[in-house]
Amino acid sequence: MKNIHQHTPREIRLFIRKGKWDKPTAGLAMGYAQANLVILPERYAFDFLLFCQKNPKPCPLLEVLEPGKFKTESMAPDADIRTDIPRYQIYRRGKLEATVKEIKNLWEKDFVTFLLGCSFSFEEAMLRARVPVRHIEENKNVPMFITQLPCNPAGIFHGPMVVSMRPLPPDKIVPAVKITSRYTSVHGAPVHIGNPSEIGIHNIKRPDFGDPVTIKKGEIPVFWACGVTPQAVVMEAKPDLCITHTPGHMFISDLLNEELSLL
């Protein structure tokens, strides 16, 4: 295997399918969109689809497969959703039951697959425009916080919005808003700029998920809706069964990030 970073999305999916890669996917297949995964039995699918429609910033839908389908139509037609994600989480009644490397043996013909946008896409665009991305500079996971901003409920699904935080010097805020506004299908523009306590975050140094990052003197914390929201909401709603990716272990698609910005 040559350096994993030199491979195409298809080649990386094949490594994953064969069990040769089960680590996080950040930095792989640069330029290509990665996606969050949620799989639910069909009886929950309308409620969850409606939830995503009502909460496009935390839950930006890139593709929804028809019941039973495990092949995508647009994101990566040769991919198999049951095997091509490095790690899956199995939730039963809202509790994490297991983390597995494939879900072929669990597959049911009423499963509906949702693929949701991921902030990796806009972080690449920020870096290209010299907007600093602190957790990348510090080689950490992005800090994520559970807020007091409520999601719009739909059917059984409800809960608070989870956000990611990137600290920025004041002169980089406008460029960051402009850049991320172009990427509505991967969380879009920030949901909050400035004082963390206004959205119910009491200690910016203690994220609920991911790692704390340095906030330099004069920098402002900027908050974006986060793809962990749907997982948090699914855990709250406690459906009989839900399968997601393991955070950071994303689905790598054939879509270019630039194509997403033109949707």
Give contact residues for a copy of itself (rule: CB under 8 A): 42, 45-46, 49-50, 53-54, 56, 61, 64, 66, 73, 152, 154-155, 184, 263
| Closer by beta carbon to a copy of itself, 73 or else 97 | 73
Closest approach, Cβ 122 to a copy of itself, in A, equals: 17
The whole-angstrom separation of Cα 167 and Cα 259 is 27
The whole-angstrom separation of Cα 233 and Cα 44 is 13
Closest approach, Cβ 52 to a copy of itself, in A, equals: 8
Q: Are 161 and 147 in contact (CB under 8 A)?
A: yes
Closest approach, Cβ 248 to a copy of itself, in A, equals: 26
| Closer by beta carbon to a copy of itself, 146 or else 234 | 234
Of 62, 54, 193, 49, give the one whose Cα is nearest residue 121: 62
Look at the alpha carbons of 182, 158, 234, 247 in this order and tell me if their dihedral is positive or negative: positive
Tokens of 103: 């879900």
Closest approach, Cβ 142 to a copy of itself, in A, equals: 24
| Closer by beta carbon to a copy of itself, 1 or else 262 | 262
| Closer by beta carbon to a copy of itself, 8 or else 53 | 53
Phi, psi of 48 (to 5 degrees): -70, -40
| Closer by beta carbon to a copy of itself, 53 or else 203 | 53
Q: Are 92 and 241 in contact (CB under 8 A)?
A: yes
b/e map 75-108, b = 16+ CB within 10 Å: bbeebebbbbbbbbbbbeeeeeeeebbbbeeeee
Closest approach, Cβ 177 to a copy of itself, in A, equals: 12
| Closer by beta carbon to a copy of itself, 21 or else 48 | 48
Q: Residue 205 gets which letter from DSSP?
A: T
Closest approach, Cβ 109 to a copy of itself, in A, equals: 15
